[in-house]
Amino acid sequence: MGQHQESISREAASQISHPPTLQELRRGHLFDQEDRSYEADSTSCSRKLLREVDLEQKLQDLEKKLKEVQLEKSSQSKKDFHLTSSFSAEILNESVSS
């Protein structure tokens, strides 16, 4: 444990006696910028993904609603056809009876 502490102290002392160069600082700054860039990209991707999931859900809701409307329209058409058929049959019966 004492040796580990000494190596840390030596490392700290070497950093103090040899401060980082401007190039090393710039490199560190670039890494910081890249980290922030990745975070921004990650946040942007997360937002896009959430937007896509939301749009996918809306699309599914609209498709479901469309099917309901088509089914309703189909059943209404069948009712209309039935009414028209019965009305036509009545007219034919009356004309035949007359």
In terms of residues, how long is the chain?
A: 98
| Domain-embedded: residue 73 | yes
The answer on pLDDT for 31 being more than 80 is no
pLDDT tens-digit profile of 54-84? 999 999 999 999 999 999 988 888 777 777 7
CA 79 to chain centre: 41
| Domain-embedded: residue 5 | no
Q: Which residues contact 20 (CB under 8 A, 6 or more apart)?
A: 28
Domain range spanning residue 81? 20-97
| Domain-embedded: residue 82 | yes
Question: Number of folded domains in the chain?
Answer: 1
| Domain-embedded: residue 6 | no
pLDDT at residue 69 in the model: 92
| Domain-embedded: residue 70 | yes
Question: What token pair was written down for 74?
Answer: 């189909």
| DSSP category for residue 18 | S
| Domain-embedded: residue 1 | no
| Domain-embedded: residue 9 | no
Residue 15 banded pLDDT, cuts 50, 70, 90: low
| Residue matched to tokens 């058409």 | 77
Q: State what percent of residues in the chain have pLDDT above 70.
A: 68
| Domain-embedded: residue 12 | no
Question: What token pair was written down for 36?
Answer: 């922030």
Q: What is the pTM of this model?
A: 0.41
CA 51 to chain centre: 4
Average pLDDT of the chain, as a whole number: 77
